[in-house]
Amino acid sequence: MLATFPAATPKKQKQTKPETMRALVFRGPNQIGLEQVAIPRPGPGEAIIRVTLTTICGTDLHILKGEYPVKPGLVIGHEPVGLIHEMGVGLSGYAIGDRVLVGAITPCGQCTYCLSGEWSQCGGPIGGWKFGNTINGAQAEYLLVPNAQANLAKIPDDLTDEQVVLLADIASTGISAAESGEVQIGDTVAVFAQGPIGLCATAGAKLKGAGFIIAVESDPVRAAMAKRMGADVVVDHSKTDAVEEIRRMTSGKGVDVAIEALGTQATFESALRVLRAGGTLSSLGVYSGKLSVPFEPFAAGLGNHKIVTTLCPGGKERMRRLMELVRYGRLDLRPLLTHRFALDRIAEAYKLFGERRDGVIKVAILP
Ligand SMILES: [Zn+2]
Ligand SMILES: [Zn+2]
C-alpha cells in the first residue's frame, strides 16, 4: 500500500469573510430599522451563528412601541435557528456548520437560579431572557450565543428550520403553561386568548392529556386554529359571557386548570372565575400596571387555588425535548407560520404582524 503524504498546505488565503451584517436595530420608541453593524466575534464559551430563520414576537412589538424598555442601539429578536459560524474556546461536541436551534431564553446553567431549576430566572428576575433584551438579538444575519454549551441544540436532519423555529419561544412558553399548571389526564382546561402563545398553550394542554379543552377567542382565524391545535370548543367572548358559558359547560363546577395567555386584568379575572375549588390558574400573560385579585372568585383566599406563572423555559435540553415532539408527529406548528419575509422586508413584516392583518399568526423572517 502506498504511503499517503499530507497534501501540500495551501498558501494561507486572505480571509474574505464579511465584517458587517444587516440587523434590526432599536433606536427609540417607533424608531427601528435595518442597519449595517459589525458581525459579533465570540469570547470564551460563546458561539456565533449565521441566522437562517427567525420570527417576530409580540414582545418585540412592545419593545418597538417603547412599552418594554431596552437600550437604544440594541438588535432585537429572540427566536433563532441557524448554522454555527464561529466558536469561542471552551465548547465541545459542536462543529462549524452544525444546524442549531437556540431558545429565546439562554440560561448559563451554572448560577444559583439555574442549579435550582429556575433556568429562565438565570442570574435574577427574568435574567434568562438575554437576546434582544440585554444583549443583541436574532433579527440579524449573525447572532452571538452566550453560554453556548448550554444553549446550542442541534437540529435533527429530518426536521426543517420551519418545523422548529417556533419552539424557541412561543411553543416553549405555551406548553409550559400546561406543565406548570400540572394538567392531569382527563382534566378540563380553559385557555384564555388564542394568540400564538395561547394556541401553543392549547397544544400543551392536549399533550399533557387534558380530557376537554375550552379555548376563548373571538377572532375567527384564531378560533379555527385553536381547534387545529387541540381545542374541543371555542367560546367567542364577544358574543357570549365566557365565564358563564364555561361554568355551564362544566356543570357549574369550573375547570381544573385555567390558562391566561393575554396579560390583562379582565382575562386574569375570568380565568379565576372559571376555576374549580382547588384548581390552578396558570398565567402566561405579561401584565402592565396593577393587577388585582377579586375577593369572591378567590374564595377570600380559602379556595385552595394555585396561581402559577412561568417565563419561557430555555436551554438546549428543553429545545431537544420539544424537537422530539415535532419529530415524532405529536406537535406541528407549521400552520402558525402564516407569512414569509426576507430580512430586508422586516419592516413590512412588523406592520402586518402588529396590525394583525391577513389572518397573520406568526411571520417567518429569512435573513
Ligand atoms: Zn417572545
Ligand atoms: Zn444561570
Distance 328 CA to ligand 1 centre (A): 25
Measure 133 CA to ligand 2 centroid, in angstroms: 16
Mean pLDDT for 183-208 is 98
| Residue 288 pLDDT | 83
Q: What is the pTM of this model?
A: 0.93
From the CA of 244, how far away is ligand 1's center (Å)? 32
Using pLDDT thresholds of 50, 70 and 90, give the confidence band for residue 366. Answer: very high
Q: Considering the chain, what percentage of its residues have pLDDT values greater than 90? A: 93
* pLDDT value of position 240: 97
User: Beta strand pairing status for 233-235 and 153-154?
Assistant: unpaired
Give the confidence band of 45 by pLDDT, cuts at 50, 70, 90.
very high
Query: Is the pLDDT confidence value at 364 over 70?
Result: yes
Rounded to whole angstroms, how far apart are CA atoms 103 and 115?
A: 18
Residue range 86-111, pLDDT digits in tens: 999 999 999 999 999 999 999 999 99
Return the residue matching grid coordinates 382527563. Answer: 186
Between the CA of 166 and the centroid of ligand 1 the distance, in Å, is 10
Q: Determine contact, residues 205/231, Cβ cutoff 8 Å.
A: no
Give me ligand 1 centre to Cα 280, in Å.
24
Residues 152 and 103: their CA atoms lie apart, in Å, by: 8
Residue 5 has pLDDT above 70, yes or no: no
Task: Write out pLDDT tens, residues 152-186.
Answer: 999 999 999 999 999 999 999 999 999 999 999 99
Please tell me the number of the ligand nearest to residue 60's CA. Answer: 1
Rounded distance from Cα 358 to ligand 1 centre (Å): 21
SS3 string of 33-69? EEEEEECCCCCCCCEEEEEEEEECCHHHHHHHCCCCC
- Reported as a single tens digit per residue, the pLDDT across 254-292 is 999 999 999 999 999 999 999 999 999 999 998 888 899
- Over 90: is that where the pLDDT of 233 sits? yes
Grid cell at residue 158: 429530518
Give CA separation, 344 vs 62, 186, 366, in Å: 21, 47, 9
Convert the pLDDT of each residue in 309-353 to its tens digit.
Answer: 999 999 999 999 999 999 999 999 999 999 999 999 999 999 999
Centre of ligand 1 to C-alpha 241, Å, is: 30
d(CA 112, CA 109): 9
Please tell me the number of the ligand nearest to residue 109's CA. 2
Would the pLDDT of 13 be above 70?
Answer: no
Nearest ligand atom owner, CA of 121: 2
User: What ligand is nearest to the CA atom of residue 286?
Assistant: 1
How does residue 213 score in pLDDT terms, banded at 50, 70 and 90? very high
Q: Is the pLDDT of residue 10 over 80?
A: no
- pLDDT averaged over every residue in the chain: 95
Q: In what order do the strands lie in the sheet with 306-309?
A: 233-235, 212-216, 188-192, 255-260, 275-283, 306-309
Q: How far is the CA of 158 from the centre of ligand 1 (A)?
A: 26
Distance 192 CA to ligand 2 centre (A): 31
Q: Which three cell numbers stand for residue 5?
A: 503524504
Check residue 289 and give its pLDDT.
Answer: 81
The alpha carbon of 27 and the centre of ligand 2 are apart by a number of angstroms equal to 29
Least Cα distance to 311 among 170, 173, 143 occurs for 173
Pairing of strands 306-309, 99-101: unpaired
3-state SS, residue 27: strand
Q: Does the pLDDT of residue 3 top 80, yes or no?
A: no
Ligand nearest to the CA of 147: 2
pLDDT band at 18 (very low <50, low <70, confident <90, very high): confident
Low-confidence winner among 54-68, 247-261, 285-299 (lowest mean pLDDT) = 285-299
pLDDT band of 15, cuts 50, 70, 90: low
Banded model confidence at residue 6, pLDDT cuts 50, 70, 90: very low
Report the distance separating Cα 233 and Cα 252, nearest Å: 17
167 CA distance to ligand 2 centroid (A)?
Answer: 21
Question: What is the band of 16 on the pLDDT scale with cuts at 50, 70, 90?
Answer: low
pLDDT band at 4 (very low <50, low <70, confident <90, very high): very low
Ligand 2 centroid vs 121 CA: distance in angstroms?
Answer: 7
Ligand nearest to the CA of 124: 2
> How many CB atoms are located within 10 Å of the residue 181 CB?
29
Predicted confidence at residue 1, as pLDDT, reads: 41
| Average confidence (pLDDT) over 219-243 | 98
**Residue closest to 313 by CA, chosen among 141, 76, 153, 183:** 153
DSSP one-letter string for 197-250: HHHHHHHHHHHTT-SEEEEE---HHHHHHHHHHT-SEEE-TTTS-HHHHHHHHT
Return all residues near 222 (Cβ < 8 A) that are at least 6 apart: 194, 195, 199, 361
Confidence of residue 122 (pLDDT cuts 50, 70, 90): very high
